[in-house]
Structure 1
Amino acid sequence: MIPAAGRGVRLGPGAPKALRGLGGTPMLIHAIRAMAASRAVSLVVVVAPPDGAPEVKHLLDEHALPERTDYLVVPGGETRQESVRLGIEALPEDVAVVLVHDAARPLVPVDTVDAVAAAVRDGAPAVVPALPLADTVKEVEPAATPGEPEPVLATPVRARLRAVQTPQGFDRETLERAHAEVAVDGEGDAGMVERLGRPVVVVPGHEEAFKVTRPLDLVLAEAVLARRRANDGF
């Protein structure tokens, strides 16, 4: 499932972030292709903006996608949580494993998708791909005014920290229960599963699964895509 109902204000005005071009192709299409490249994925559900489902369906029709995978576009809600819930409701009853992937992570390698799906199938209720942090992290008291000095409260042990990516994988029943019982606005899907008291495990992420949020991220994504095309004909 790919929730793609947000506007992505940090990339500036214009089209929603998921529809911004990357190498001449919308990021959403790259994200769909990345998920469909995994043989563990038989259906990709795209959750469109509430009034944008026809536009997204047209977009999918315009681009070549792997034919062995089915695709479904459903209208989303006003929040990401509501959009994910609507996406879950649209899944066929026989789907037992759900992967939730950010459209803004268009370059996630297929090996990462495979690893997440395999870990759920091996019995983990929730799985997140993640990377160790390169930088030291400080916990601070946020300043009342942006730009003011902020007092350091603590320095977490970096070896115990991970930067979380997507796709995140879930046993369907666990994900449905999390959205029904502990949904908190702004909380991620894995965070809601943690609130249920169910275990969440981490598998290795990949440096190319970064989130395209700011203009500099788009420059980096273009460079990664150009390298892939030069090396692999991607």
Structure 2
Amino acid sequence: MHAVGIVAAAGSGLRLGADRPKALVLLAGRPLVAWAVESLRAGGVAEVLVAVPADERAAFAGALPADVRLVTGGASRTASVRAALAAVEPRADAVLVHDAARPLTPPDVIARVLAALAAGAPAVVPVLPVVDTTVTVDADGWITSAPERATLRRVQTPQGFARDVLVAGYDRLPAGADLTDDAAVVRAAGTSVVTVPGDERAAKVTVAHDLALAEAQVRR
């Protein structure tokens, strides 16, 4: 199976309090995006494309190995993945879409996603159980329901897909639509998605506290 990795790295670093794209923020002296690319490769993905902001292309080129392909991303995550997917060669059997903001994803998670795809799953996402009570609220903040925790999961990346499944999902997605992740894209097209175990170490870096936790994890 020939798998290609797409890393979504065109987002800003505003919530992180950074003066640069989040993917270029340093973790233990290396940009987050470099960690994410390394995780994909260690998990068994040899070819990687990174969706980057147009005006930061040179900075990303300097932060990544020369054989990583750079693609100009869009105004949203969905637009960035769509642009990168268009650059994936047809010979690829599978595509894994990963967030640069999950720099410490263990290679075992990537390997589990690849194994599920190799076994015939059309779409795969790594997940973790929800341990806190979760509620829904109305526009005024009043609790309206408390879903059964046993049926809930936290979704991580990389999310893996048979290439033709992901391409078909994006082909059916209206231009300008912005979904929360790529599993939502293929589910909207009628594709079932299977889950594999994720890992707490694959936590997303969104705010400064998250980065501090990642720094502590690296120093262990």
CA contact (8 A) 1:140 1:152 kept: yes
CA–CA distance in structure 2, aligned partners of residues 225 and 88 of structure 1: 31
- Secondary structure, aligned partner of 2:100: coil
For the aligned residue pairs, the C-alpha RMSD in angstroms reads: 1.4
CA–CA distance in structure 1, aligned partners of residues 159 and 139 of structure 2: 29
CA–CA distance in structure 2, aligned partners of residues 58 and 3 of structure 1: 17
In structure 2, what is the equivalent of residue 225 of structure 1? 218
The Cα offsets for residues 145-175 of structure 1, whole Å up to 9 and x where unpaired, read as: xxxxx21111100000000000000011111
- Secondary structure, aligned partner of 2:54: coil
Q: Does 1:215 align with 2:208?
A: yes
In structure 1, what is the equivalent of residue 93 of structure 2? 96
**C-alpha distance 52-198 of structure 1, shift in aligned 2 (>3 A):** same
CA contact (8 A) 2:179 2:185 kept: no
State the 1:61 CA deviation: 4.5
Range with greater deviation from structure 2 (9-18 or 127-136):
9-18
In structure 2, what is the equivalent of residue 24 of structure 1? 29
Structure 1, unaligned runs of 5 or more: 63-69, 144-149, 228-234
CA contact (8 A) 1:50 1:78 kept: no
Q: Does 1:86 align with 2:91?
A: no
TM-score (norm 2): 0.93
Q: How many residues align?
A: 213
- Secondary structure, aligned partner of 1:136: coil
The Cα offsets for residues 91-129 of structure 1, whole Å up to 9 and x where unpaired, read as: 122111000000000000000000011111211111110
CA–CA distance in structure 2, aligned partners of residues 50 and 174 of structure 1: 28
CA–CA distance in structure 1, aligned partners of residues 27 and 59 of structure 2: 18
The code of the aligned residue for 2:130 comes to: L
Structure 2, unaligned runs of 5 or more: 1-5
- Secondary structure, aligned partner of 2:99: coil
CA–CA distance in structure 2, aligned partners of residues 71 and 95 of structure 1: 16
CA–CA distance in structure 2, aligned partners of residues 31 and 117 of structure 1: 16
State the 1:53 CA deviation: 2.0
Structure number, greater radius of gyration: 1
TM-score (norm 1): 0.87
Q: Which of 2, 8, 11 lines up with 1:3 in the alignment?
A: 8
CA–CA distance in structure 1, aligned partners of residues 86 and 73 of structure 2: 11
CA–CA distance in structure 1, aligned partners of residues 65 and 99 of structure 2: 21
CA–CA distance in structure 2, aligned partners of residues 177 and 171 of structure 1: 10
In structure 1, what is the equivalent of residue 122 of structure 2? 125
% same residue: 44
Q: Does 1:175 align with 2:166?
A: yes
Q: Which of 183, 190, 194 lines up with 1:190 in the alignment?
A: 183
In structure 2, what is the equivalent of residue 230 of structure 1? none
**C-alpha distance 123-48 of structure 1, shift in aligned 2 (>3 A):** same
CA contact (8 A) 1:112 1:205 kept: yes
Q: Which of 157, 166, 176 lines up with 1:166 in the alignment?
A: 157
Q: Which of 66, 81, 105 lines up with 1:108 in the alignment?
A: 105
Q: Does 1:206 align with 2:210?
A: no
State the 1:185 CA deviation: 1.5
CA–CA distance in structure 1, aligned partners of residues 37 and 65 of structure 2: 13
